[in-house]
A and B are shown apart, each in its own frame.
Chain A
Amino acid sequence: MKIVIIGASAAGISAAKTINVSEPETEVVIISREDSVHSRCMLHKFLGHQRDAKGISFIADDFFETAGITWLNNTTVISLDPDKKTVTTHDNQTISYDKLLIATGAGYFIPPIPGLRESKNVYGFRDLIDAKLLDRECQTAKNAVVIGAGLVGMDAAVALLERGLNVTVIEMTKDVMSLQLDHQAAAAYQKLFKEAGAEFILEDKVVSVDVNDVGRGTTIHLASGKAVPADVIVIAAGVRPAFNFTQGSGIKTNQAILVGDDLKTNIDDIYAAGDVTGIAGIWPNAMKQGRIAAINMLGEKLLYEDRYALKNTVNFYGLTTLSLGNINPEPEENCEIFIREDRHNYQKVVLKNGIVQGVIMQGDIGGTGFWQYLIKNKIDVSDKNKDVFGLSFADFYDLDQQTGEYKYAV
């Protein structure tokens, strides 16, 4: 059997690894646009010159050779034919498959703001290609503007600050990382970034960009009337699943490739995993989807059930935060909010009818992994009869006598 995987990031590599371990005799071909395998979560380490391209890889140097996998890099798939079971690449190769996995991820989105898309010095911060282009700009640029203060924008900002640029972050909402943090937790990061030299313009938005005669954006105009000078612009205003090449193939999409719980598309023998499915844009989930899609392509029937995606960790300037679930409930949701603070920690737990809805743990996040289990499995903690901050796995402690593994007693 021959399995073709399009994409060599979390989902694609995880699938390839799974196939290689379970059925090493299966022929695997991976096609990727880039000539390196790297973790996009470490791009800021590359741009900040703390690691080189090899240093942000998440596989062994000899992964493809050892696993006997054919890797077609610098190769873009432009179309696919489900009847002939082939994909066609930009350089006119036709590659046949028995099973196909689409793991092409997502691409950054440039909002249709006058001057922004036209500017040649606007970059996303998504792939190593983007980071390399930004790296070149950093050699001459003085003023950098980051549009969007989500995790990606903050990653870009931390690297640009590391390179000694003047960094201004522009954000529409009133806080940085507003999906992950509440006002107080966000303020702690904002303070650290300011100490490192960053400027923030919050609750404002870009209305236009002046483009000079060589096509570079020079001044960013905001709704408030402010104008910010820019030598280089990073856009971090969200991503869109990348599946242009499936046009005309009959694969059902709705802003993402639609898959069932078995991660198969509407067409037999074609599966999808990772950001391209729109299920959960986060590394651990993409890895798990890649693994499950691979097992299903090998003929098993495993279902992807771990759809819980409202989770993240943040680590900037040594301040760590765990964020899970609904952390900023509206008053009409009638949630109970518990807060505990000391000099080094800010902790918030959102409860409703004994079920944990959301958690922020800022400061010491050691041993906090159990919270995700409680939230995604909607476990009632009201019968524990204790301070919610005192909860741990010990309150649900059980052991499988045969394997010695832990399980939850609920």
Chain B
Amino acid sequence: MKRIIIDREKCDGCLNCNIACISAHEEGSNFYTVNLQSPDAETRNFIKFDAGKGYLPIFCRHCDEPECVLSCMSGALEKDPVSGHVQYDENKCAACYMCVMNCPFGVLKPDKKTRTKVIKCDFCDDKPDGPSCVKACPKQAIVVKEVNL
């Protein structure tokens, strides 16, 4: 499967990945027009800073054994057998947030505005040119690679 591989040493903490993610999920917007103040503006990836270690990118791994899928009681989260990506169906989701509780890396979150859905990486719907965060990274700290399971 394709996974966003992280080289944290290269990350400068510019947060272009955050903006690209928000923009990719705000229809018709681009880097210049994206409304970061919108209540819908939610990033699916995070950069944490640690005084000792520097910048630490936290991105959904679409895990081989996804705890979020195992915890999902509505069938909204499923691991796609072909792409290997963990897909989310907002219409099935009942917003119980067991997945938020079960993600060991703290990647998942409820949506801020309505608390009726989960904000989760969708790998930009497997677009041929790859996820928007990867395209936006000026340092190639995140790159898409094929990994064997």
Partners in one complex: yes
Q: Which residues of A contact B (CB under 8 A)?
A: 10, 14, 21, 39, 41-42, 45, 56-60, 283-284, 287-288, 291, 311-313, 315, 318-320, 322, 324, 364-370, 372-373, 392-395, 397, 399, 402-406, 408
Are the CB atoms of A41 and B63 closer together than 8 Å? no
CA distance A58 to B73 in the complex (A): 6
**Binding stretch for chain A, among B20-28, B48-56, B124-132:** B48-56
How many Cβ-Cβ contacts under 8 Å join chain A to chain B? 139
**A393 CB, nearest partner CB in chain B, Å:** 5
Are the CB atoms of A365 and B109 closer together than 8 Å? yes
- The interface bits of chain B over 95-138 (1 if a CB of A lies within 8 angstroms of the residue's CB, else 0) are 11110111111111110101100010000000000000000000
Chain B residues within 8 Å of A58, by CB? 72-75, 92
Contact (A399, B103) CB under 8 Å given A284-B71, A392-B48: no
Name the residue in A10, A45, A59, A393 with the highest tally of chain B Cβ atoms < 10 Å from its Cβ.
A393
Are the CB atoms of A369 and B74 closer together than 8 Å? no
Q: B95: nearest residue on chain A (CB-CB)?
A: A315
Chain B residues within 8 Å of A311, by CB? 101
Chain A residues within 8 Å of B110, by CB? 315, 320, 365-366
Q: What are 25 inter-chain pairs, A to B, with CB distance below 8 A?
A: A21-B81, A39-B94, A42-B94, A59-B75, A284-B67, A284-B71, A284-B102, A287-B70, A288-B70, A313-B97, A365-B101, A366-B109, A366-B112, A366-B119, A368-B100, A369-B67, A372-B102, A372-B104, A392-B48, A392-B58, A393-B106, A397-B8, A397-B53, A404-B145, A408-B104
Chain A residues within 8 Å of B114, by CB? 318
Are the CB atoms of B73 and A283 closer together than 8 Å? yes
CA distance A395 to B23 in the complex (A): 29
Chain A residues within 8 Å of B105, by CB? 369-370, 393, 406
Are the CB atoms of A404 and B6 closer together than 8 Å? yes
Name the residue in A14, A319, A369 with the highest tally of chain B Cβ atoms < 10 Å from its Cβ.
A369
Cross-chain contact of A284 among B5, B8, B98, B119 (Cβ < 8 A): B98
CA distance A288 to B97 in the complex (A): 17
Are the CB atoms of A367 and B95 closer together than 8 Å? no
Are the CB atoms of B100 and A283 closer together than 8 Å? no
Chain B residues within 8 Å of A283, by CB? 71, 73, 98
CA distance A179 to B88 in the complex (A): 30
Interface residue tally for chain B (C-beta within 8 Å) = 47
CA distance A283 to B73 in the complex (A): 7
**B78 CB, nearest partner CB in chain A, Å:** 9
Q: A374: nearest residue on chain B (CB-CB)?
A: B104
Having A284-B102, A393-B104, one finds 20 other A-B pairs with CB under 8 Å, namely A42-B73, A45-B94, A58-B74, A284-B71, A288-B70, A313-B96, A315-B96, A322-B101, A324-B101, A365-B109, A366-B119, A368-B100, A369-B104, A369-B108, A372-B102, A392-B58, A397-B53, A404-B147, A406-B104, A408-B104
Cross-chain contact of A394 among B50, B96, B149 (Cβ < 8 A): B50
Chain B residues within 8 Å of A21, by CB? 81
Chain A residues within 8 Å of B98, by CB? 283-284, 313
CA distance A186 to B74 in the complex (A): 26
Contact (A403, B6) CB under 8 Å given A288-B70, A315-B97, A366-B110: no
Contact (A313, B8) CB under 8 Å given A59-B75, A367-B109, A405-B64: no
Chain A residues within 8 Å of B56, by CB? 394, 397
Are the CB atoms of A394 and B73 closer together than 8 Å? no
**A350 CB, nearest partner CB in chain B, Å:** 17
**A376 CB, nearest partner CB in chain B, Å:** 10
Chain A residues within 8 Å of B4, by CB? 404
CA distance A313 to B81 in the complex (A): 28
CA distance A312 to B96 in the complex (A): 9
Chain A residues within 8 Å of B92, by CB? 58
**A185 CB, nearest partner CB in chain B, Å:** 15
CA distance A51 to B127 in the complex (A): 32
Cross-chain contact of A320 among B3, B5, B61, B115 (Cβ < 8 A): B115
Contact (A369, B70) CB under 8 Å given A283-B98, A405-B61: no
CA distance A364 to B72 in the complex (A): 20
CA distance A56 to B94 in the complex (A): 9
Chain B residues within 8 Å of A287, by CB? 70-71
Chain B residues within 8 Å of A370, by CB? 103-106
